[in-house]
Structure 1
Amino acid sequence: MLKQVLHKGFSIAMAILVLFSTVSFTVESHFCGDTLVDVSIFSEAEKCAMESMEILQKKSCCKDKVNVIQGQDELHVVSFEDLDLDQDQLWFTFTQSYPILFESLSKQIIPHKDYVPPNLIYDIQMLDEVFLI
């Protein structure tokens, strides 16, 4: 039970790790002076009310900071043609022998299954004191 739970937990953790290592996203921040007004992930940050007034004054106290976090975009994908001879042989052997693991065993015939030994009235070996060594 514990082994299955750990196996599923590690599988989920590895899937999440692969997902987050390949996803790219941006973090956009809007500052008005030195004060942080809004932080947004995946979308544009909200502008403050001062931004609309600055268009008329042509003076900017607001600034936007954009951080782009790049994910891994070069994944190493191996095709079947890239395998060398040893790997080809291993792959062929594995694919040929794997289905054999799931075949049912033939029913074994036990010839003496219904044999009932006779009841012992006397222990002959003890009476004659003859022992096999």
Structure 2
Amino acid sequence: MSSLLAIVVLFSTMSFAIDMHYCGDILVETAVFQKVEGCGMEMQNPQTKECSITKKSCCTDEQLVIDGQDDLQLSLDTISFEQHIFITSFVYTYISLFENLEENVTLYTKYNPPLVVKDIFKLDETYLI
């Protein structure tokens, strides 16, 4: 249970960015935690001052930043009594789900099967003619 809580705290406080590269209106590439490489159609800036004509590039880069929580406060005073009961019963039933049996219990070892006098499957057969 504590590892689950640690994972929840980790992902709620973690920040990350998603970079997207559009060529025109079409999404070409996405990247998480790194910059996108692009599609190779970006326009190069001219090295000389003689070329004064500039054309707008069809490619755009967008970045979506998802910020995590900065302040994490857990106060047990704000939890009601009914929530306490629910949490304790949930934890108790969750832990008891994974308890292993010490040995394989077979409840039918002393059970004698009934004696078969007639073939029951033959009594219930129907034939389409």
Larger Rg: 1
TM-score, normalised with respect to structure 2? 0.46
**Which one has a larger percent helix, Structure 1 or Structure 2?**
1
TM-score w.r.t. structure 1 length? 0.45
